[in-house]
Amino acid sequence: MQSFIFDYYGYNVKDIIDSHFDYQNYRFILISTTESESNISKLDDFLISLRQNFEDDIVYFVKNRYNQYISLNDATNIILLTYKIGDIQLDTLQKMHMIYQNYNQGRLNLDEIITLWEQRIEYLENQCLVILNFDNPAHKDLYEYAMYAIGMAENALQYMSDLKIDFKEYFVTTLTHRRIKKLDKWEIFNPFNLIFDHSGRDLAELYKNDIITLNQLIQITTQYRYKISEYQYLLARILFPVSVFDILEDIYLDKNYDYTEGIYQAIQAQEKHMQKVKSFYKYMISNLNIRPIRWLDL
């Protein structure tokens, strides 16, 4: 891989760890891609516009010696991205939400989210659960928690469906992320992690992943002047479980790897997640006139 990097990009590096290397206070990340050169060029144009507001925080593509984004290594298309090493603050994410609020008059389509959630639940039930090995105690424990998680997901799905009935007004979108598991430059500015959605998508991830507390979540939603419908969207997002689902999908994709440690980490995360759901729901019921979820009142 060192010779590939030198041949295509001119960097003489000694150590490559988990497909990344550091060079002159910049981190470089190699990823395989199925995207076309033209699609990556469009993404790069968007990153250039981001750079106008976020300067050195931004992640950007590195072109190779041939002035192309895509390089070929062992029949695999590779792209190289980089960013300046350094900390990032929660304020940066909030700034992103503010700048891209109603970008191009974007509107959130709840039907698309409902369909995606339905498809994921079906995929988990029909593909992932059936390959678990019940002779493995970790897989047996995972199955029990997965069934509970699917129940939570179905409740989140129903709540989202009710939201569509209760509120006919559209939801304004902003620049958000597919996932936020930690607060760093790569997570926030990775172009393949960016997506337009309601800000509640990000806030739910921040809260579920212990990046912000309940008090911080309430403070931010107050600053954003959330309406009742937006709080309910946020609740549905918080209610939808991910930790157990993610490990189930990992096992399905690589059945030979020993995921025992990851399984119990996911189970622990789900137990904590349930506490977070109830804490946020209790605040909502006490302070806002929202549609109740009866089983959370127990």
pLDDT average, residue stretch 225-250: 94
Share of the chain above pLDDT 90, in %: 76
Q: Give the pLDDT confidence of 140-196 residue by residue, as tens digits.
A: 999 999 999 999 999 999 999 999 888 877 889 999 999 998 999 999 999 999 999
Share of the chain above pLDDT 70, in %: 100
pLDDT average, residue stretch 226-231: 94
The pLDDT assigned to 29 comes to 95
Token digits for 212? 């912000």
Higher pLDDT, 252 or 104: 252
Token digits for 47? 């990153």
Q: Give the pLDDT confidence of 242-277 residue by residue, as tens digits.
A: 899 999 999 999 988 999 999 999 999 999 999 999
Q: What is the largest CA-CA distance in the chain?
A: 63
Q: Give the pLDDT confidence of 45-66 residue by residue, as tens digits.
A: 999 889 999 988 999 999 999 9
Cα separation, 278 vs 35, in Å, equals 41
Q: Give the pLDDT confidence of 84-96 residue by residue, as tens digits.
A: 998 899 999 999 9
- Crossing angle of helices 214-223 and 200-208, in 10° steps, is 170
Domains in the chain with CATH codes? 2-86 (3.30.200), 91-297 (3.90.1200.10)
Q: In which residue are the tokens 């790069």 written? A: 44
The pLDDT assigned to 15 comes to 81
Q: How confident is the model at residue 36 (pLDDT cuts 50, 70, 90)?
A: very high
pLDDT at 298 over 70: no
pLDDT at 105 over 80: no
**SS3 readout for 156-177:** HHHHHHHHHHHCCCCCECEEEE
Q: Is 76 helix (H, G, I), strand (E, B) or coil?
A: strand
Note the pTM of the prediction, 2 decimals. 0.92
pLDDT average, residue stretch 19-34: 92
Q: According to DSSP H, which parts of the chain are helical?
A: 2-9, 37-54, 90-99, 110-123, 137-166, 185-189, 200-208, 214-223, 228-239, 243-253, 260-287
CA angle, 80 as apex, 178 and 103 as ends, to 5°?
Answer: 40
